[in-house]
């Protein structure tokens, strides 16, 4: 069953680039913080690159003013996530996290099979807002849609 509002974020490790490849576990990422994490099916894919990530880049300061950390996760390797972040000028502080083996999205129950497109197992498009590791808001897109997980929509909902 997919993660629900009120559930605790499962303990999984993710990777990111910061002076080399670094591992970060979800307790470190979420504990004692307000975090907006959004997931995309793939780095450098059209909707993700043209709308989803750029929306969070444009509104990053609005989240930060509310004391909310922002992170992006995809089933890609950390080098791809770093290159993608650089290609759209991701601000310092917006974490680009790699879930290379889809362990995190599977633990959340928010994976999808994109084998028909040659992409294998990927993340569904979603955004979740957590406080101290507990999901407070969850925005999961219907297949092929991009509405509820947008930065604009999420900002309006978390007020």
Which residues have a catalytic role annotated? Answer: 48
CB distance 45 to 39 below 8 Å: no
Rounded Cα–Cα distance for residues 159 and 6 (Å):
18
What would the two tokens of residue 66 be?
């509310």
Question: Which residues face 121 on adjacent strands?
Answer: 113
CB distance 4 to 69 below 8 Å: no
- Contacts from 22-27 at CB under 8 Å and sequence distance 24+? 24/97, 26/104, 26/133, 27/133
Judged by DSSP in three states, 35 sits in strand
Question: Which residues face 68 on adjacent strands?
Answer: 34
């Amino acid at each position: 069953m997919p993660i629900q509002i009120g559930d605790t974020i499962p303990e999984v490790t993710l990777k990111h680039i910061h002076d080399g490849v670094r591992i970060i576990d979800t307790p470190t990422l979420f504990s004692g913080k307000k975090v907006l994490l959004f997931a995309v099916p793939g780095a450098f894919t059209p909707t993700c690159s043209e709308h989803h990530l750029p929306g969070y880049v444009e509104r990053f300061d609005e989240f930060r003013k509310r004391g909310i950390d922002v992170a992006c996760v995809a089933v890609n390797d950390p080098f791809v996530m770093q290159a993608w972040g650089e290609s759209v000028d991701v601000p310092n502080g917006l974490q680009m996290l790699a879930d290379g083996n889809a362990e995190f999205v599977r633990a959340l129950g928010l994976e999808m099979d994109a084998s028909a497109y040659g992409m294998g197992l990927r993340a569904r498009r979603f955004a979740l807002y957590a406080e101290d590791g507990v999901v407070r808001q969850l925005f999961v897109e219907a297949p092929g849609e991009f509405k509820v997980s947008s930065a604009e929509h999420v900002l309006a909902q978390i007020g």
